[in-house]
Amino acid sequence: MTILCEKCNKEFGSKEALQMHSQSKHREIVKTPLLSSRQKKKMRNWTYVVLVLGVIMGIIYLITSNITTLPPTTIQGHAEINPPSHIMKEPMELVVLKHMLEHADGVEGGIGGVVINYNCEDFECEEGLVEQLEEFAIKYPQYVYVAPFKNMGAKIVLTKINRQEVLEEYNEEFIDNFVR
């Protein structure tokens, strides 16, 4: 079986021979693909890899974004460091917070402290909330601390060793009962 070149009427014994002839003698009629089949396969494979990684990263984001972060209630990993004040405007380091749970003011054998953390960055705090918490801490200057806690999953969290309460609004009576 012979194949005829439509442009110059030459005969060829196979399609491959006609294709080679057309590529060398009649370039204008040979349409070269933008990507070779090998390049197309590589592109397809990389697209799959990117999609799978995107799905995995999306799942990880969804899982971790729903985790509620709260202050610790144990003293494991604490440091023998006292905070500069009972009322702090910057977050208390976790190792210090844990030490205050163990014994307020760092007094060996002393009573455990209570830390009142708040998060007014991620939650809408009513006007004067921080001031109310600070005034409350002044009532118990030996063992109550007030400090912000970044990325905390609640507006107000009361913490003492192995115990924690989450509040959505200021409740002096509840806080007072927790502290005592």
Question: Does residue 5 lie within any of the structural domains?
Answer: yes
The pLDDT value given to residue 48: 95
The pLDDT value given to residue 29: 57
Q: Measured between alpha carbons, how far is 163 from 66 in angstroms, rounded to an integer?
A: 22
Question: Does residue 84 lie within any of the structural domains?
Answer: no
Question: Does residue 11 lie within any of the structural domains?
Answer: yes
Nearest to 117, CA basis, from 157, 160, 89, 172: 157
Contact status, residue 91 vs residue 148, Cβ threshold 8 Å:
yes
Question: Does residue 52 lie within any of the structural domains?
Answer: yes
Q: What are the percentages of helix, strand and coil residues in the chain, rounded to 5?
A: 40, 15, 45
Question: Does residue 151 lie within any of the structural domains?
Answer: yes
Whether 21 and 51 map to the same domain: the answer is no
Q: Measured between alpha carbons, how far is 180 from 176 in angstroms, rounded to an integer?
A: 6
pLDDT of 103 > 80? The answer is: no
Contact status, residue 145 vs residue 83, Cβ threshold 8 Å:
yes
Q: Percent of the chain at pLDDT above 90? A: 29
User: In this structure, how many other beta carbons lie within 10 angstroms of the beta carbon of residue 153?
Assistant: 15
Domain count, the chain: 3
pLDDT of 3 > 60? The answer is: yes
Whether 6 and 63 map to the same domain: the answer is no
Whether 108 and 44 map to the same domain: the answer is no
Nearest to 87, CA basis, from 120, 115, 112: 115
Question: Does residue 74 lie within any of the structural domains?
Answer: no
How far apart are the two ends of the chain, measured CA to CA in Å? 102
Whether 23 and 8 map to the same domain: the answer is yes
Question: Does residue 137 lie within any of the structural domains?
Answer: yes
pLDDT tens digit string along 73-98? 888 888 788 888 888 999 988 888 88
pLDDT tens digit string along 4-58? 888 888 888 898 888 888 888 877 655 667 778 888 899 999 999 999 999 999 9
E-assigned strand segments in the chain: 3-4, 11-12, 114-118, 144-148, 156-160, 163-167
Domain of 43 in residue numbering reads as 39-67
Q: Measured between alpha carbons, how far is 148 from 10 in angstroms, rounded to an integer?
A: 87
Question: Does residue 88 lie within any of the structural domains?
Answer: no
pLDDT tens digit string along 20-35? 888 888 776 556 677 7
What is the domain-level CATH number for residue 151?
3.40.30
Contact status, residue 74 vs residue 98, Cβ threshold 8 Å:
yes
